[in-house]
Amino acid sequence: MRKSPGLWYLEQYMRAIDVIVKKRDRNELTREEIEFFIQGYAKGEIPDYQAAAFAMAVLLNGMNPRETTDLTLAMADSGEVLDLTGVVPVAVDKHSTGGVGDKTTLVIGPLVSACGLPFGKMSGRGLGFSGGTLDKMESIPGYRCNLTTEEFLSQLKEIGIVLTGQSADLAPADGKLYALRDVTGTVQSIALIASSVMSKKIAAGAQAILLDVKVGLGAFMQNLEDARTLAGLMVEIGKLAGRRTIALLSDMNQPLGYAVGNALELKEAIETLNGGGPPDFVEHCLVIAGHLLVLGGVAPDENSGRALAAAAREDGRGKEKFRQLVQAQDGDVSYVDEPEKLPTAKLNETVKAAQAGFIQIVNARTIGETVVSLGGGRAKKDDEIDYGVGILVHRKVGERVEAGDAVFTIYGNSKVKLKAAHSRCLSALKVSSSPVEPLPLFYGIIR
């Protein structure tokens, strides 16, 4: 770990409570104070309860861009920072700020890798109502999400794709704080989201980073202004760290695709790599993949990049790359070839439209929270995940429905939870008698 001048003094005389109180009272923290707190937490010298208090103070009172950048670098420097320049010519990474039905990494990673651009990603587990990429991949028996740094580098060099959890050696302070935020009501902080995302990206060594910043009912940023602020902050951090970084602002008012829930989303991702999949999800993945191929120097522009990614999907190279990924990380590839083997809940129930009209709202947040209540997410950081539960969303905003048409199918393993989920799904749905415009996929790009 690097130490700033003056950090030695703080280690001798500063206390964690002083940092917490200073931020509680809306004062600006120095770089040395931030480094002291983060390094102390990483080493176990500052306990979870003080880290939770610090996170809440940041949520309530915010951090300015300089504080957020210092927090990002302190978390990146709490462990090893990889240098991939000697491993692959260029490696790209993407990150979504969290959404409902967002299984894009499972498709985008294999597609860009199949186009010759190495894709090395350290993903997280579910946070709040948003699903986690690792939870989805662990629906496959045997799949390992705990690769060592050496395994990460070797696999990236050999097959050009890695999808694993955060190594204990990389940004360990963020790994601890990430899990804590999920169960302390501090997920939504712009400063904590930006520093968490970018500390992992900087530590993992990717030279080019794409940020998929969600906005809407099912996102942590529910309005466009906040989403732009977060995106701009992360792009600025990337720039300061010497990474080529862009951010896309994407809609999360309704779930992305049809499937919400770990195994259901994995099945949908495999279906998409096989040439099928929901139209909105397919287009989202191809657009993001196109931008990544430009960032990585494989394509001259986004349209050319999208075409390359579409070709890799259509000719099966993306699916084969996904199989290579699963096999390399000890997963049972028969579950990729036969996705019907993936976990499925014992019970299911259909939710029907009560009236004819046009879908006006499919509240993504309510759907995400309902999947968590079925067992598909965590209320406490050590909760077990039920991989087979979830919800299929059959209708999108703007579509016409008749009374009695199926709008949702709920999958659960408890009759009591299934009944409650039925009521919550009904509350997530609003039907209008007048035509409704479909929602856009994207709202803009920040470069």
Catalogue the active-site residues: 95, 174, 181, 196, 200
Virtual CA dihedral for 267, 269, 273, 276, nearest 10 degrees?
70
Give, in degrees to the nearest 5, the angle at Cα 55 between 16 and 130.
150
**CB-based burial, 31-60: b 16+ in 10 Å, e otherwise:** bbbbbbbbbbbbeeebebebbbbbbbbbbe
C-alpha span between 61 and 82 (Å, rounded): 32
SS (H, E, C) the chain: CCCCCCHHHHHHHCCHHHHHHHHHCCCCCCHHHHHHHHHHHHCCCCCHHHHHHHHHHHHHHCCCHHHHHHHHHHHHCCCCCCCCCCCCCCCEEEEECCCCCCCCHHHHHHHHHHCCCCEEEEECCCECCECCHHHHHCCCCCCCCCCCHHHHHHHHHHHCEEEEECCCCCCHHHHHHHHHHHCCCCCCCHHHHHHHHHHHHHHHCCCEEEEEEEECCCCCCCCHHHHHHHHHHHHHHHHHCCCEEEEEEEECCCCCCCEECHHHHHHHHHHHHCCCCCHHHHHHHHHHHHHHHHHCCCCCCHHHHHHHHHHHHHCCHHHHHHHHHHHHCCCCCHHHHCHHHCCCCCEEEEEECCCCEEEEEECHHHHHHHHHHHHHCCCCCCCCCCCCCEEEECCCCCCEECCCCEEEEEEECCHHHHHHHHHHHHHHEEEECCCCCCCCCEEEEEC
The residue whose two tokens read 């979830």 is 390
C-alpha span between 208 and 391 (Å, rounded): 34
421 CB neighbour count, 10 Å cutoff: 25
